[in-house]
């Protein structure tokens, strides 16, 4: 199959015009240097994204506005279908490629011809050794939670079975489902780049905050179970717990914060208890107790925690400054 480009960036976006524009401007020098096109599939409720993209001086931006909006999962597939490119770096609209890594990925493509390249991000995977992955199942047990990050996978377009995709079983995680499907193919070639190749824009506001229990308890467990044929019962249990164990998204502290915002309550506990006990490291009794604790109490607890953390951080900074002054005085 002949493609116009070797590598393209594909970005699904929704109401993040300013962050998206800022991220593209950050990547622009390398995009221009290597003539990497960007394909954008816009699900936004306004025209702001289209307006800010017109101000970017780069001819290789291909913009599509979805009317009506596709929704998260459908827009994922729509975005992946757009590029006329051999490889697609599927990038979140709040994420940019770390400077220098487009060239490194192009070298990997030329040298290795992989079916998929998985990349690291700051504060994610501690094993930063880049390698060809041979023990693919163990690789996924260790990194599947990380591969939910939109931007962590670069796909060889011909490796995606678009005609067989049933993304209903991968609700909220369609790109991760595609990644696992490719990695688990017996003859697929998988490359892991352990260096921090992508960075999240600190201005990001997450969409999932109000639905955190639905997404990272119910939908995550259902996603993991959709690959049950490849893993043992014990391995599936590790996968279900791995996301929150590494991100702390369903930790005790996080659940107290969600309760203070009423994004976790006894109704959600009752509906999702079976998923919560599998996906959260929080003790089972605390799952219940937090769900029935009044919001005001949780707000108070969380405020105390933030105050203590702030004071500890200030103490660490002061101690570090004191040590530095002492060392300078002794020199």
Sign of CA dihedral 275, 276, 280, 284: negative
- Write down the pLDDT at residue 327: 64
Contact 213, 165 (CB under 8 A): no
Q: Are strands 190-196 and 198-200 parallel, antiparallel or unpaired?
A: unpaired
Picking from 205, 301, 300, 207, the residue whose alpha carbon sits closest to that of residue 252 is 301
Residue 95 and residue 22: Cα distance in Å, rounded? 10
Closest CA to 268 of 247, 253, 242, 250: 250
| Residues 2-23: tens digit of each pLDDT | 899 999 999 999 999 999 999 9
Report pLDDT for 330: 61
Helices (H), 124-170: 136-143
Q: Report percent pLDDT > 70 for the chain.
A: 96
Cα–Cα distance between 39 and 49 in angstroms, integer?
A: 13
Which pLDDT score is estimated for 133? 97
pLDDT at residue 208, as a whole number: 80
The DSSP bridge partners found for residue 52 are none
**Residue-wise pLDDT tens digits, 67-109:** 999 999 999 999 999 999 999 999 999 999 999 999 999 999 9
For the record, the structure tokens of 140 come out as 């996924």
> How many CB atoms lie under 10 A from the CB of residue 9?
25
pLDDT given at position 59: 94
CA pair distance 135, 287, nearest whole angstrom: 35
- Closest by CA to 10, choosing from 46, 38, 52, is 38
pLDDT of residue 91: 97
Q: Low-confidence residues of the chain, pLDDT below 50?
A: none
User: What is the chain's alpha carbon radius of gyration, rounded to the nearest angstrom?
Assistant: 22
User: Which pLDDT score, from 0 to 100, does residue 167 have?
Assistant: 86
The pTM is what? 0.90
Spell out the domains of the chain, with CATH numbers in brackets: 5-200 (3.90.550.10), 208-303 (no CATH)
């Amino acid at each position: 199959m002949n493609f116009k480009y070797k590598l393209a960036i594909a970005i699904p976006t929704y109401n993040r015009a300013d962050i998206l524009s800022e991220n593209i401007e950050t990547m622009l020098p390398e995009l221009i240097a290597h003539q990497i096109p960007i394909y954008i599939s816009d699900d936004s409720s306004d025209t702001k994204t289209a307006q800010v993209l017109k101000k970017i001086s780069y001819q290789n931006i291909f913009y599509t506005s979805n009317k009506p909006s596709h929704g998260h999962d459908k827009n994922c597939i729509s975005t992946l279908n757009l590029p006329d490119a051999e490889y697609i770096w599927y990038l979140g609209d709040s994420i940019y490629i770390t400077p220098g890594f487009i060239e490194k990925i192009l070298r990997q493509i030329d040298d290795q011809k992989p079916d998929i390249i998985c990349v690291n991000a700051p504060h994610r995977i501690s094993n930063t050794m880049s390698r060809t992955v041979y023990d693919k199942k163990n690789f996924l047990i260790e990194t599947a939670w990380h591969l939910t990050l939109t931007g962590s996978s670069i796909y060889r377009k011909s490796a995606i079975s678009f005609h067989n995709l049933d993304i209903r079983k991968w609700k909220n995680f369609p790109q991760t489902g595609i990644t696992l499907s490719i990695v688990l193919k017996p003859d697929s070639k998988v490359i892991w780049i352990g260096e921090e190749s992508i960075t999240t824009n600190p201005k990001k506001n997450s969409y999932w905050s109000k639905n955190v229990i639905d997404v990272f308890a119910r939908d995550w467990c259902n996603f993991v179970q959709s690959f049950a044929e490849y893993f043992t019962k014990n391995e599936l249990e590790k996968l279900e717990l791995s996301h929150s164990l590494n991100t702390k998204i369903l930790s005790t502290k996080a659940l107290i914060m969600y309760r203070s915002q009423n994004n976790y309550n006894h109704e959600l506990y009752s509906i999702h208890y079976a998923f919560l006990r599998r996906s959260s490291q929080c003790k089972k009794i605390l799952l219940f107790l937090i769900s029935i604790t009044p919001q005001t109490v949780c707000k108070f607890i969380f405020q105390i925690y933030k105050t203590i953390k702030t004071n500890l951080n200030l103490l660490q900074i002061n101690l570090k400054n004191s040590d530095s002054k002492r060392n300078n005085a002794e020199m």
